[in-house]
Structure 1
Amino acid sequence: MNLLSKLSDHELINSFNAGNVNAFETLVLRHKEKLYTSIFFLVKDKYLAEDIFQDVFIRIIDTIKSGRYTEEGKFLPWAMRIAHNLCVDYFRKVKRTPTIKNSDDQDIFEVLNFTEESAEDKMIKKQSHNRVRDMLDQLPEDQREVIILRHYADMSFKEIAHITNCSINTALGRMRYGLINLRKMMVAKQISL
């Protein structure tokens, strides 16, 4: 397995195509954190993020096995594009789904708590992490998306522009305004991280 970790993404994909399942496992482990974190910050639900993450790799396997993979040397941006599209598809589907409202005009599924938080989840939720997430949620969607892709997925502005279908200058502008808005929120709430 150690030898596989030294291979490039392209070499791992070729090895996987040749029948080496461990090569694909190495590829998944290499990019798991960036992909999952980006999905999680877009959908804001741990279980949904896990489902979408799995769907991303199912699509990747299907594409590679069918011989349609052509993104040589650009595996992560390609995988991020698939993840982004699956998140967008999810939100489109949710918009078409009717909501059931209670007497206070709240979606009943947002009011009900179906799961009990585990000890692991409680440990993960540190105070500063929650503050940043709350502030990110208050940003306009386009600004939030660029900040998440840049800081959590560690993507270049060129990759972000490609994924979000905008120019590099637009992505840079969204990042700038998003950071300005975050600073304003921090000053207003007297938060220091």
Structure 2
Amino acid sequence: MSFLRCYRLIKLGGKIMIPLSAKEKEKLGHLYVKYSRLIWYVSVRIVRDEGLAEDMTHDTFLKVANQIDSVKAVEGIKTKCFLITIAKHLCVDYFRKMKAKKMDYSYNLDSLLDQAPLPLDQVCQNERDTALHNALQSLDEDYQEVLYLRFVSELNNHEIAQALDITPEYAAVKVMRAKKALKKALEAYNAKYGDEQIF
């Protein structure tokens, strides 16, 4: 779907809450041209349906149009992660709505309590999350990007290659190097913050 078609559909849907200036339309156009294919790949991996993935891509850019002020630059890992996060949330919301239609709302308290994490488990998980976040932040932006695509967006090397316009072989090499760099960063974190290994 072209950006103009996407923008026309957004306008026809009447879902843009804030009218866009010419500059904002241009920014939205650049975002669409740069990231629409990636957003579609992320969506199709989650929903497993090409048509539905196209709808999710459209809805992602609709949401971005309403939050265009929060996008400071078209290029960069933060913008890419912002768009991917919106797409993933939309896909999850879609499944949640579909599940709610079929779901029986007869939960009992015991089953809910059984699913709650123990306090010590929660503390350990928080420590792991902090360590992982700090280690990731210490990596080059290229490594952060490829790890995000591989493990958060769950793209395979071929899909990463298509998203980044590189060969699948080079995508595999980048993933391997990024994992090694992350491992070193986690080891450094473990050495700095205690004898106990977090990972």
Scaled by the length of structure 1, what TM-score is found? 0.41
Scaled by the length of structure 2, what TM-score is found? 0.40
Structure 1 or 2, whichever has the larger Rg, is 2
Return the structure number with greater helix share. Answer: 2
